[in-house]
Structure 1
Amino acid sequence: MDRPIERAKDPKDRYNLRSDGEPGIDGHLGWFRRGPAVFTLYEIPADRSCYPNTPAVYLLDCDDGVGPHEVCRIESDAMDDPIWNGAWKNDEWCPWLLKQIRALIAASRDT
């Protein structure tokens, strides 16, 4: 029996939340898939209310059927030094994930 093709959640869906509990539409840059896992990239803006100001951060979430969980965070001024969450550190997918992240960030700047 063939399974229907699953789609990433609509970021405007009110039940779609990021791994940090914020609405999935906030900072949504796009998504990509590898196998059953759907990865979603968000931009969290810089915090201008503190001194010194914090840099913008990119958050990559993964949903493999049990809800979103954080894969990594990358400060916008440290793109080559992601902070991997848990078992993702040194995972064989990391280089591929970084390539996808950079492509989504570049595409968001082109629009």
Structure 2
Amino acid sequence: MKDRITAMFIAFFLGSFGGQYFYLGKTGRGIACLLLFWTFIPSLIGLYHTIIWLMMSDEDFNNEYNQGRSPRMGYAYAPGASVSDELAKLFVLKEKGALTEQEYNTRKAQLLR
């Protein structure tokens, strides 16, 4: 997953050499910028990308550069909570009818990874 802020900083600091293109997986454009860095055109392109990505929302960036996928947010349980405690809580929810058997098994599998 490519991050908008990271791409923005790379474009600002390494845009003269096409760093943002290498980061985004556009190697051909990155090589072109490396070959033409002495013309200062890649510097202007890097500055342009910095400004555009500064104003762009994360959702728009993800749609354009991450095929619409959002960054992974991690697990739903609190850090430091033991897996056995979380499994016990899930079991209680299943017994109360708040979770179906399928939901219980799915969440249990996620916890045990």
With structure 1 as the length reference, what TM-score do the two structures score?
Answer: 0.27
Higher RCO (C-alpha under 8 Å, 6+ residues apart): 2
Q: Which has the higher helix share?
A: 2
With structure 2 as the length reference, what TM-score do the two structures score?
Answer: 0.26
Structure with larger Rg: 2
